Amino acid sequence: MRLALFTIACALPLLAVDGVVTNVTTGKPQPGVAISLVQPSQNGMVPLGNTTSGAQGEFKIDKEIPPGPGLLQATFQGTTYNQIIIPRSPTSGIQVKVYDATNKAGVARMLEHLILIEPTLDSIRVSETFVLGNETNTTFNDPAKGSIQFYLPEATGGKAQVVITAPGGMPISRPPVKITPPGFYKTDYPVKPGETRMDVSYTVPAADKFSGKVVASATATHLVTPPAVTLTGDGIESAGQEPQTKAHIYNLAGLDYNVLIEGVGSLRGEPAPAAGDDSGSPQVVIKTPRIYSQLPWVLGLAFAILALGGVMLYRRGAA
């Protein structure tokens, strides 16, 4: 009986949506925030309605949400804040939080910077991970410089996959954007309060040598390899192995490196191309075949995230 009632409730459309937008930075209701109500579908986000918050931060969208989840998107000072509305949850009195934006240096601090090098028989897969921390009550947003800057070898042709996981969010994709000097790129994505992770992944042809560059920061950069792979070269030194995965960790002394690679190995499964979305919205996959077509990439990314997560925990524990 309960299952039948739950099924009926989920099938019913949700009524009009209303609530208040609060600016956490000021602690006051925030007027003038663009509010959109959308619904995820297999064809992307379906617009349902939009409005702008009033003088006291209040908003109301007189549209029903069809069966399934809805998504509120509040855009303020160049940043979109997402709030999922699940079936059977209240659609009245929703509290939406936004933050003032700033490009002040130091608001977003680099907590970790790891470069995972996974050589195979026919290629070298590289995953560069940036973990940014924002302990303020503002959102860091600097479109000119971007949130991170990174180097892509010439062999990539400027092609890389950038996956961003914001606090409480789901992974989304962003394209790399060229900057100067040549070979360097940026990702422009706001860094909200909390920890934001950005993963840059690319592949180059197999070789016994690999070189790269990094942008100067207050946080040290570490190279990471699978257990069966070792690196030698000027400017790097071994920092030991991560206990669980047995991954090798190397300290990088300068801003560039040229290493000799011995061995092949991986910390993850075989990847496949990701289905990216630049909307900044949480992705909800509905079409079953699409899930299975992306399963190798999902598993590959999951294994890489878990492996590098273990390295980061080991690093923080040893610090």
Residue 299 confidence (pLDDT): 39
Q: Give first-to-last CA distance, the chain, whole Å.
A: 55
CATH superfamily of 2-98: Immunoglobulins (2.60.40.10)
Residue 269 confidence (pLDDT): 53
Do 74 and 34 touch, CB atoms closer than 8 A? yes
Residue 217 confidence (pLDDT): 86
Do 88 and 99 touch, CB atoms closer than 8 A? no
CA separation for the pair 271, 293 (Å, rounded): 11
Instruction: State mean pLDDT over 12-22.
Output: 81
Confidence band for 99, pLDDT divided at 50, 70 and 90? very high
Confidence band for 312, pLDDT divided at 50, 70 and 90? low
Give the residue among 80, 79, 34, 25 at the shortest CA–CA distance from 57.
Answer: 34
In the predicted model, is pLDDT for residue 5 greater than 50?
Answer: no
Instruction: State pTM to two decimals.
Output: 0.78
Give the residue carrying structure tokens 């920061």. 217
Confidence band for 255, pLDDT divided at 50, 70 and 90? very high
- What 172-178 contacts at long range (C-beta under 8 Å, 24+ apart), as own/partner pairs, is 172/276, 172/277, 172/278, 172/279, 172/280, 172/281, 172/282, 172/283, 173/274, 173/276, 173/277, 173/278, 174/276, 174/278, 175/278, 176/150, 176/152, 176/200, 177/146
Sheet holding 236-241, edge to edge: 172-174, 161-165, 194-205, 123-134, 109-119, 222-225, 248-252, 236-241
- For the chain, give every residue range classified as CATH 2.60.40.10: 2-98
CB contact burial 34-58 (16+ within 10 A = b; e otherwise): ebbbbbbeeeebeebbebebeeebe
Confidence band for 8, pLDDT divided at 50, 70 and 90? very low
Residue range 176-214, pLDDT digits in tens: 999 999 999 999 999 999 999 999 999 999 999 999 999
Residue 40 confidence (pLDDT): 87
Least confident range from 64-73, 80-89, 219-228, 267-276: namely 267-276
CA separation for the pair 44, 31 (Å, rounded): 29
Helix (H) or strand (E) holding 22: strand 17-23
Do 22 and 28 touch, CB atoms closer than 8 A? yes
pLDDT, averaged across the chain: 85
In the predicted model, is pLDDT for residue 279 greater than 70?
Answer: no
Residue 169 confidence (pLDDT): 81
Residue 286 confidence (pLDDT): 32
Least confident range from 95-99, 219-223, 267-271: namely 267-271
In the predicted model, is pLDDT for residue 50 greater than 80?
Answer: yes
Residue 3 confidence (pLDDT): 47
Residue range 106-163, pLDDT digits in tens: 999 999 999 999 999 999 999 999 999 999 999 999 999 999 999 999 999 999 999 9
Do 197 and 165 touch, CB atoms closer than 8 A? yes
113 alpha-carbon distance from chain centroid = 14
CA separation for the pair 195, 185 (Å, rounded): 22
Give the residue among 154, 183, 315, 151 at the shortest CA–CA distance from 245.
Answer: 315
CA separation for the pair 224, 304 (Å, rounded): 11
Peptide bond just before 181 cis, omega within 30 deg: yes
* One CATH from 2.60.40, 1.10.760, 1.20.120, 3.40.50 for 109-318: 2.60.40
Residue 189 confidence (pLDDT): 95
